[in-house]
Structures are given as structure tokens and as C-alpha cells.
Structure 1
Amino acid sequence: MRDYDTSVAFLGQWGRFQLMVFFMLCSTIPPNGMSSFSLVFVTDTPRHRCLVPEVNLSQDWREAVIPMEEVNGELERSQCRRYRLDVVRNLSDMGLVPGRDVNLSSLEQEDCMDGWSYSSEHYQSTVVSEFDLVCSESWKQPFTATVFFLGVLVGSFFSGVLSDRFGRKPVLFATLAVQAVFSLALIASPSWEMLCVLFFFIGLGSISNYISCFVLGTEILTGNARVVYASMGVCVAWALGYMMLPLIAYFLRSWKDLTVAITVPALLYIPFWWVLPESPMWLLSQGRVAEAETIMRRAAKMNRVEAPEKIFADYLIYANTPEAKSAQRYTFIDLLRRRSILATTVILCFVWFTMSICYYGLSLNTSRLHSDPYISCFLSAVVEVPAYSSTCLAVRFLPRRMAVALVFLVVALSLFFIQLVPQSVLEVAVALEMLGKFAATAGTSLLYVFTAELYPTGLRNTASGTCTMVSRTGSCIAPFLLHLNVYFKYLSYVTFGSLAMVSAFVMLFLPESFRRPLPENIQQMHKRQSVTCPCITRRKTSNCVTVLESQL
């Protein structure tokens, strides 16, 4: 039986049909980049202090009512405490001067009984200032981001199941609608609890339409168009949305206005329903050969080429053959049956987990990195474009194991060195964090390739999906790890760097896949992984079927 790419080769690779599919699908990606990282601005914590109501206080006491605290070796006004207001009022009425007539350290302190006053230097409002997620409620700020990533985790699992059941196109547009509707409902949320529920569904819709879009494009396009779309198209489109976010947020300082601005463009995708086709490969897997041929004939007409009389006729014939019925099926259990494969899976899950923590931790930390959060976020987005470009070069010329280990080392060293940078040269600290973000972005792309090359054909999607699911738990934890800087300024950097250093070491215990044939079954994978110590030379197996890496 001819494979799909051979059957549709008459279309060519970069005709009008392929260009239409490429750019229309890529145009749906930027809102995902904006939505995922809008948390940087929407949930940021502005500078704040206890609100002092309009009472009869002298100017000296109004300035001194907020006590000084030592934060990371520097004295700052407290954000969560004030001197007892009734005592201060009495001292002010008596005409006493703070510091001269009254020892402030002897005064009793209290919590912010009247709420907080928030700085408007960068934001008119955020979720934090809207619902007072500070001081004793500060744990709710990272938890809000965690709920979003929990939605991403759940969406990563269910999007594949739904798209396999109902098709790529319906799931793409349904989840685009879910993301848009719940994002607009966000601005009317009456409570923080309801806000979290809405964020969960926004995360679910965001990742689901991204995955559906990615799969739809890779199944429709062929050859070089497929490679460019999968390796650069969706990644650069994501980075483009990420870069647009701080520009929009700079002019819209209210979190509600920003949410509306990044959601409304979803309405532009409604007409795409009548233009974008369903995946012919999915239709063939469902036995709907006539519909798949109809799509291909329309594509041939658009590309101005002649379609053969029967395009997919042999698919129905093959489906009823003993060969097709006896094809070996793999399940998740096959990842656990052999010790060598289990060890590989556990190591890959750990490095995926670490890479996700580093990537999202560095991405969400941009508002704290520089005095201007908009500049920091834009720089964090810009470094993703050269990171994806360098990944394409690394995939062609570098061994996988060495490339990913090197990426982890760059992440670890850049984060460790940040602690040594004096406060007076903040630009160096920013450059080091951007270097870590560059490496984490490139490493994420490399892990997709490396993971797919290690597993046999029937187990490749299951293994990649398992590793991706585990990595999502890392993105859920990342907001809380960033919160560690409350206890020590560089504690989150030390945590990220330590995990990256351990991951660089354990990478050495994975088999190499660079310029080696892709395994076709469990037996071939087991033979390749029978020796996992990197210092022992591996023996080449002669019974492996040669598969070009470019076909992946």
C-alpha cells in the first residue's frame, strides 16, 4: 500500500493550498502565546503598603506610620504591617515628633486593618489588587497561575482523545471558542474562587487548540512544508504572540482591558471554519475515504494540478487485509514492562519536568527581573526566535544527548552566576537570565525530537504524550517556586539551577539517537538501550530498518 505522502505527491509541497493552510493555521497560534503569558501582567503584584485612612495625623506621623523592614539586606517600608493607628493618632495629637520624641521601635504594630494602597507606577489594576491577594493571602497569587497550568495539563490529555474521536478541525474551533468565552467571562468574575475556575478552562482551551492546530497542520502538509511548519511555523507564531503581549499591555494597564484586547481577535477566526479542511489522514483512519478524496481534489484545483482518478482507493483494500489486522498495538503498559525502557522513560520524564520548570519559571519571572516589566517580558519573548532557529541547526549537526545536556548546563550556570552580579550592574543579571531563557526554549524543542527518536513507531506518540503530561506538572509548580524569593532573593534561581545541573548529569545515561535508524519495534529499542552507561561503546545492530531522520 502506498503511504499518505506518496498518495498526495501530485499536489506538490508549496502550492496555493499548502500556503493557505500554513498561514491560516499559524495565524491561530499568537493568541495562545499572549494568553499563556498574560499571567505575567494580569497576576503581577504591584508595590503596596497598608492603607491609612483620612484621619487627623501630622505629616511626620503620616510618613512614619508604616514601619521599616529589612528585605534582602535593604531597609524598605513594610507592605503588610503598620503601627497601631489609635496610638499614632494620640501621639500626633500630643504634638510629639516620631524618631525625636518617640522611639518607633517601642510602638505596637498591627495588620493592614483598612486594606492596602497599591502603586500605579506600572498598572492601573491587576488580579492581585482587585482581590487583595497580598500578605496573608499572597499564596493565592501563584496558585492562580497554577490553576491555569492545571487546565493546560488536563487539556493536554483530553485534546488528543477528543481530536482522535471527533476530528482535528472540530476540536480546534471548539477549544478556540472555549478559550474566548471563558476569557471574556473572566472580567466579570465576582470572586477570586470563580476567577480560578475560569482560568482553569482558559488553560484547557489554550493548549487544546494549540495541539489540534499543530496536528492538523502536520497531517495536511507534506515534505518540506511539514518540516517548516512543525519546527518553525508554530514556534515562531507562538513567539510572535508572546512579543506582542508586552506591547499591548504597555498601553492597556488594566488587567480587564488587557484580557479583552487579547481575546477579541478570536472572532477573526470564525470564517476559517468554511475554508480550512479536515485532516485527510484522520478521515482515512476513520474509513471516510470519499471525504478525504474530495478535499484532495479541491486542493488540486487550487494548486492547478491534475488529480489522479483514484487517490486513496488502496486504503480500503489494505484495511481488510490480514497484515493490517495483525499489526502490533502498543499501550502505556509497554513503557513499564522492560527495565531498560522503564529507566529511559523515568529519566526522560524527569528532564522534561525540569525543563518545563525552568522555561515557565524564567518566563513568569520577567516582571520581577527589571524595573520595567514590559521591557523584561519583551526581551524574554525575543530570545525565543533565535532559540528556535538554533534548534534547527542543533538537530542537523549535534548528537542529541550532548546537545540537551549542554542546554541544561547553560541554564544552570547562568542562574548560578546571577547571584554574583552586583546590584549596580543589573544589565548583566538581565543578560544572564535571558541566556537561561534562550537555553530553556531551545532545550524544550530538542526534547521533542530526542524523545520521538528513542521510541518505536507504535509507542512514539504514547511516550511523547506521557513525557509532556509530566512536564505540565512542572509548569504547575513553577509559580510556587518563584514565590521562594520571599524567603531569599535568589532561592528560586538556586532551585532551578540545581534541577538543571542534575538533569544534565542524568542525560548521560540515555542512549544516543543521532544519525541512527529509528526503532520500528520494542525489540529494536531494547537492543539499543541494553547498555546505558555512556562510557561503554555500543554495538551496532544489523537488523534495524533504516529510516531517514528527516522523515520524522
Structure 2
Amino acid sequence: MGITEGLNYDEALTAAGGWGRYQKLIVLISFFSAVPNAYVGFPLAVSQAKVEHHCTYPSEYYNYTTENETIRQQIIATITPLVRNQRHQMVRSSCKIYQRNYSEYHVEDWPLVFPPANDLPVADCQYGISFSLPPAEENVRMKYSMVCNDAWKAVFTASLNSVGLLIGSMIGVTGDWYGRKPMFIAACVGQIVSQILTTISWNFASYCFSILLGGMCSLVNYVAVYVLVTEICAPGWRNFISIVSSVGFSVGYCTLGLLGYLFPYWRSFLGSMVVLSTLIYAPCCWYFPESSRWLAQKGKSDLAIKGLRVIARVNSRPVQFENALKENDHVIISKSNATSSGAIVALRVLFKAGIAKRFCALIYGWFVTSTVYYAIALFSTDFSSDRFLNVFLSGIVDLPAFVITFLLLTHAGRPRTAFLLMSLTGLSSLGLPFIPKDLYALKTILAMIGKGSIGGVFHVWYLLPTEVMPTLQRSSAMSFCSGAGRVGSIIAPYVMYLANTSDIAANAMMGTASLLSALISILWIPETLGVPVPDTAAEARGNKRIYGFKLLANFGTDGARQKKRRDSVKIDETEQML
């Protein structure tokens, strides 16, 4: 049995195995735990899908609207006024009715002679609202009447979920205090509880509370997996494992369409996700490990060494760590500094350590990406008119996008991939409103390019903070970035609400913001491909591999200099500590 002494963490991890059976177990956890994350928030695309509706006809006319199409159209014209839709076409209103005394007219005496409707006032649906779906396929929009004057409820609940995501992203800071594993388990349990409450909700208020709670717990465990991956895996495998999480999320998103088709009644649909989430999360929580790197940086050397022994044993590596990662060794910060991982301290470090521009670029990238992604995922109908197929296609288009993103990240690097995908997103958003409606195939292809690009770049933004930010501020930085993304997802429903009035304005906002993010990413964010994750702010600042406008620059030989620079920084910090 070899004895490895005085190692730094990266060397110790290499000795234990940076890629082996242990890391493959993490791959499985990252994939399966990502699937149920799509079951919080995104089910709104199915359960709150738009349903055709109209004002209920007076009871004495109802049977005649189904017997003869000619009579039906004449009755509809008599009862329902014409309005102009967002494309400036005249259509029958689904929320208004002519204000008449219908009891004065007897439908059995057809043809009826009504006074001209031109000068009649219109009113809200005084006899109620009828939906095109049968009661057995009732969804949440029908249950809580999220149409007409109450259409705000659908936008409100989507934003409420995002408010929960914003709160949850701040809760994610606790990952730097208490560890990655407690944060992961708490989020999994919270998601299941919120799904149960949503399924059994008894009124609109209880439904809103469950949506908020679900948002608070959603994606917190997703972030925990991303952070863990960067801390226990060799640099060359970080992109692969993290892309697996993204694929898992898309698989979960695709299954929403399938579950909706199999269980069209909304309570059955939501209940099926409770069962699947429980079955998936239970083994993931049991096998989810704590990060040895985090333990080492927190001064818990004994536990860190114990974790490295587990990695070495599972990977069948004959290594021991009795004298490695010593508390006074230059590779591990002292206990007096190990507690500097709170939110306030993290912000102070991120803005005063010479990496503020990078942090701001990540914040803005997250904000724009979340705004565009949620606007498309929750409200777009550019893929199919069928609500289940639309969700399925919206998710399936991400899978080839992730393969392309993986190849780009591996060969072109992080900032250039973000630049390319954000540019494609921006150009597709700007072009969509100008494609004629009759060119449906072209419109669908462009929409799929935009959806795939924004889905792929989401993975890039998840990966970058974990590789750019120092260890003790990593979870905090991810939480702040995620929080910015949640602000974007709060805005997304209102951007799409604007699209009801003007497609051009909504798409121009998303397209312009995406192109600006593409520019900032290439100017301010350094290349991290093949570079060890930084443990300290000084190491993070030492990465100067920024492309700027030299998109074809090659940093291939810079890895050795980067490693040497990191080692010299550690030695300087040790001398200052001593």
C-alpha cells in the first residue's frame, strides 16, 4: 500500500482516482436526480396549458348549438361579439357576450329575429364559461378559471414559482456553510412535499402556496450536484458529468408530455410525479457523498481524508492519506479562515478580489438565459398545437443541443461556446416574428434552433461559476447567479404576456439581451478548459485566459503555466500565513 504524504488536494484526488467507479456513481446520481427537477415549475406547461373556451350560452339555446351547424353559427353570431386578436384578425370573443334579454326570444321559433347587434353593449360571460375539454381531462386552468378577467392567475403562478426559485437560490448559500449533502437532501424532501401539496390543493390560495414552496426547493439539489462534480472529479471529466445532469433534466421535461397524455386529469398528472420523484430521490439521497474538497477547505482534514479513502477504495487505488492534507500544510487554509464562506463575505471576496467583471458577466448571462428559456419552455406553442406534444418536442430538442454543447465545450472552450449559443438564440428571437405564418416549417425550425441553443447555453452557465469561482465562495456564487436567473424567470411570463400584444417587441427584447450577453461572455469570462478549479480568490484572479475579440486565440500551452502560477500563489499565501 503506497503512502502519500503532504499532497495538495488535486494531487490527492488524482492519487485516489479522478475518474473511476466512484465518479461513475456520481454520474448516475447526477443523471437521475436531475429528472425530477423538471417536475417542479415546468409541469405548469401541461397543467396550465391554454384551453379553448367561450361564454356559456343561455340554457334555452344550448342544445341547438350542437344539432345543426348553420343554426349553431347563427346563434353564436347572435350571442358573441367580434373582437380583434393580436394578429389584427376579427374573431369571435371567448370572454364577452352581447348584453341582451335572451329570455324574450324562443329558440324553438327559429329562425329568430334579433335586433341588430351593432349598437348593443357587451358584457362579461354572464352565464359562465365553457371549456373545450371534458371534466375527465380538467386541468388547473379550468379548475381555477384562469381565463378572461382571471387570466392573470396563470401568469401570477408562473411568476410565483420563479419567486420561490429566487428564494431557493439564496437558501443554496447554505451549501458553503453546512455542506453539499445536507443541501441536496433537504431540497429533495422539500420538492416531494411541495408536489404532494400541489396535488391535494383545495383552493387557489393553497395551490399558490404549494407552487411557491416547490420553487424554493427546486434546482437547489441540481446546483449541489454541479458543485460536487467540480470538486471530486478530474478536470477533464467535469464537462461530461455536468452535461449528464442537463440531459437528465431534459429527459424529465420530455416525460411531462408523456405523463400528461397518460394522466390527462390534473390531479392524477401531478400525483404521478410525486410517485416518480420519491422512487428516484430515495436512492440518490442515500448514496450522495459530501465533498472532500469542501471538508478540506473548512479545516475538517480528518473527514476530508476519510472521504478520499472512500474514493480510493471504490476506485481500487492502493493509496493512504495518513499525513496528507495537514491542517498547517500550505494547500489547506487555516481554521481561522475556513469559516469565510457566508453570503456577505462571499460578495466582498467576489467584488474585491479582482474578479468582479467575471462575476457580473455570469450574473447577466444567467438572467438573460433564464428569461428566454422560461418564456419559451412555459409559454411557447411554436412546436405543436397539441399541448402534450408541444411540451415533449420542447424537451426533446434539448437532447441533440446538449450533445453539440458538449462537443463545443470540449473543443472550443467555455466562453466561445457561450458566445456562439447566445448569438444563435438572439438571432433566432429577432427573426421569428418576421417569418410569415404560412411558412410554418421554417418557423418551427428557427424556433427549435433558438430553444436548443438556449437550453445548451444553460448548461454552460451552470458549469462556468463552478470553474471560475474559488472553493469557499463557489456555492454562494452559484446561488447568486441562480438568483439572477430566477429574477429573469419571474419576468419571463410578463415578456410573453407582452407577446399577446406585440410579437416583435417581446422577441426584440429577448434577442437584443441575448446578443449583449454573448458579447460580454467573450470579453470578460476567462477560459477554464483543462484548468484546475481555484481554491482561493488569488488563484481565480490568476486565470487571465480571456479571448476578447481574438476568438481564434489558442491557450493550449497555457495549462502548465497556469498550474505553476497556482502553485506559486499557494506558496506566497503560506508564507503570509506563517
TM-score normalised by L of structure 1: 0.84
Match of 2:391 in 1: 377
User: d(CA) in 2 for partners of 1:353 and 1:453?
Assistant: 19
Q: Which runs of 5+ in 1 are unaligned?
A: none
User: d(CA) in 2 for partners of 1:256 and 1:146?
Assistant: 21
Change in Cα spacing, 1:321 to 1:391, as seen in structure 2 (3 Å) is closer
**Residue among 165, 172, 178 paired with 2:177:** 165
User: d(CA) in 1 for partners of 2:549 and 2:192?
Assistant: 49
1:134 aligns with 2:147: yes
1:215 aligns with 2:227: yes
Q: Which runs of 5+ in 2 are unaligned?
A: 1-5, 66-70, 568-578
1:254 aligns with 2:265: yes
Match of 1:439 in 2: 453
| Deviation, structure 1 residue 436 | 0.6
Alpha-carbon contact 1:455-1:525 (below 8 Å) kept: no
Alpha-carbon contact 1:36-1:203 (below 8 Å) kept: yes
Match of 2:117 in 1: 104
Match of 1:409 in 2: 423
**Residue among 200, 203, 206 paired with 1:194:** 206
Within 5 A, what are the aligned runs for 1:220-369?
Answer: 220-222=232-234, 224-230=236-242, 232-268=243-279, 269-308=281-320, 310-311=321-322, 313-318=324-329, 331-337=346-352, 342=356, 345-367=359-381, 369=383
Match of 1:423 in 2: 437
User: d(CA) in 2 for partners of 1:254 and 1:270?
Assistant: 27
| Deviation, structure 1 residue 451 | 5.4
Alpha-carbon contact 1:219-1:281 (below 8 Å) kept: yes
Alpha-carbon contact 2:46-2:256 (below 8 Å) kept: no
Change in Cα spacing, 1:260 to 1:443, as seen in structure 2 (3 Å) is same
| Deviation, structure 1 residue 385 | 1.9
**Residue among 168, 192, 195 paired with 1:180:** 192
Match of 2:9 in 1: 4
Paired residue type of 1:140: K
User: d(CA) in 1 for partners of 2:26 and 2:248?
Assistant: 14
Alpha-carbon contact 2:33-2:284 (below 8 Å) kept: no
Q: Which moved more, 1:322-331 or 1:294-303?
A: 322-331
User: d(CA) in 1 for partners of 2:543 and 2:237?
Assistant: 34
User: d(CA) in 1 for partners of 2:328 and 2:377?
Assistant: 51
SS of 1:82's partner is strand
User: d(CA) in 2 for partners of 1:446 and 1:548?
Assistant: 27
User: d(CA) in 2 for partners of 1:342 and 1:123?
Assistant: 54
User: d(CA) in 2 for partners of 1:205 and 1:427?
Assistant: 38
**Residue among 497, 502, 516 paired with 1:488:** 502
Change in Cα spacing, 1:38 to 1:306, as seen in structure 2 (3 Å) is same
| Deviation, structure 1 residue 37 | 1.7
User: d(CA) in 1 for partners of 2:35 and 2:496?
Assistant: 26
SS of 1:374's partner is helix
Number of residue equivalences: 540
Alpha-carbon contact 1:511-1:528 (below 8 Å) kept: no
- Identical-residue share of aligned pairs (%): 24
SS of 1:113's partner is coil
| Deviation, structure 1 residue 118 | 1.1
Change in Cα spacing, 1:177 to 1:508, as seen in structure 2 (3 Å) is closer
Change in Cα spacing, 1:204 to 1:324, as seen in structure 2 (3 Å) is closer
**1:217-242: CA deviations, max 9, x gaps?**
44444455544212x22111111111
| Deviation, structure 1 residue 264 | 0.9
| Deviation, structure 1 residue 243 | 1.7
Alpha-carbon contact 2:165-2:483 (below 8 Å) kept: no
User: d(CA) in 1 for partners of 2:332 and 2:540?
Assistant: 25
SS of 1:37's partner is coil
Q: Which moved more, 1:259-268 or 1:320-329?
A: 320-329
**1:159-197: CA deviations, max 9, x gaps?**
231x33333223322221111112111122222122111
Alpha-carbon contact 1:13-1:224 (below 8 Å) kept: no
SS of 1:76's partner is strand
**1:76-104: CA deviations, max 9, x gaps?**
221110112x5233244695756x76422
**Residue among 69, 79, 91 paired with 2:94:** 79
TM-score normalised by L of structure 2: 0.80
**1:501-542: CA deviations, max 9, x gaps?**
34345556536547798987569849959x99859xx9x9x9
User: d(CA) in 2 for partners of 1:460 and 1:284?
Assistant: 14
Match of 2:68 in 1: none
Change in Cα spacing, 1:8 to 1:332, as seen in structure 2 (3 Å) is closer
Alpha-carbon contact 1:35-1:262 (below 8 Å) kept: no
Alpha-carbon contact 1:415-1:496 (below 8 Å) kept: yes
Change in Cα spacing, 1:432 to 1:312, as seen in structure 2 (3 Å) is farther
